[in-house]
């Protein structure tokens, strides 16, 4: 499929391009340490993608309710009874590092 077909499907409408500062902010929210080079490449691709998906804003849907789930299911209730669950040993089996029954992580740093 050509780029031209892509443009027709994902119509280009004006959106504010994401700048380097915003990109770094989003990367921090997502806890991704982007490298130089990667940052520039991602900035271009992200702008293309965001421009493409912002096509959804063409429609006036103020009266339409959102769908978060495709089935009409309401709350599902279960009796509050204990069931078998993972042992501490199983839960820790894949830990990169542990100390006793704890996952061990490096200290400090914000959240």
Partner 1 sequence: MIDTLRLTAEEAKRLLEAREISGAELFAAYRAAIDDRDEELHCYLHLCDDPGGDGLPIALKDVIGTKGIPTTAGSKILDGYLPVYDSTVVERLKAHGLRILGKTNTDEFAMGSSTENSAFGPSHNPWDPSRVPGGSGGGSAAAVTAGLAPWALGSDTGGSIKQPSALCGNVGLRPTYGTVSRYGIVAFASSLDQVGPVARTVRDCAFLYSIIAGRDRSDTTTVELPQPVELPHAEDVRGLRIGVPRELNEADGIEPGVAAAVQAAIARLEELGAEVGECSLPLSVEYGLPCYYLIAPAEASANLARYDGVRYGYRAAAEERLEMYERTREEGFGDEPKRRIMVGTYALSAGYYDAYYGQAQKVRTVIKREHDALFETFDALVSPTSPCVAFPLGARTADPIAMYLCDLLTIPSCMAGLPGLNVPCGLSEGLPVGLQLIGPQFAENTLFRIGHALEQAIGFDPVPERLR
> Contact residues for partner 1 (CB under 8 A)?
1-3, 5-6, 8-10, 18, 22-23, 26-35, 42, 45-46, 48-50, 52-57, 59, 61, 64-71, 73, 76, 78, 86, 90-91, 93-97, 103, 105-111
CB of 30 to partner 1, least distance (A): 4
- Write down the least CB distance from residue 40 to partner 1, Å: 13
Q: Which is closer to partner 1, CB of 40 or CB of 50?
A: 50
Is residue 47 a contact partner of residue 41, using CB atoms and an 8 Å limit? no
Contact between 55 and 13 (Cβ < 8 Å): yes
Shortest reach from residue 13's CB to partner 1, in Å: 10
Reduced to 3 states, what is the DSSP secondary structure of residue 103? strand
CB atoms within 10 A of CB 109: 6
CB of residue 21 to partner 1, shortest distance in Å: 13
Tell how strand 98-99 and strand 102-103 pair up: antiparallel
Report the DSSP beta bridge partners of residue 99: 102
């Amino acid at each position: 499929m050509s780029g031209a077909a892509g443009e027709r499907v994902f119509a280009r409408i004006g959106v504010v391009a994401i700048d380097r500062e915003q990109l770094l902010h989003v990367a921090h929210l997502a806890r991704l340490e982007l490298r130089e080079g990667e940052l520039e490449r991602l900035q271009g691709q992200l702008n293309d993608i965001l421009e493409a998906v912002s096509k959804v804003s063409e429609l006036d849907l103020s009266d339409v309710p959102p769908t978060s789930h495709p089935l009409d299911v309401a709350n599902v209730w279960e009796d509050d009874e204990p069931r078998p669950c993972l042992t501490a040993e199983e839960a820790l089996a894949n830990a990169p590092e542990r100390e006793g029954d704890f996952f061990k992580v490096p200290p400090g740093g914000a959240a």
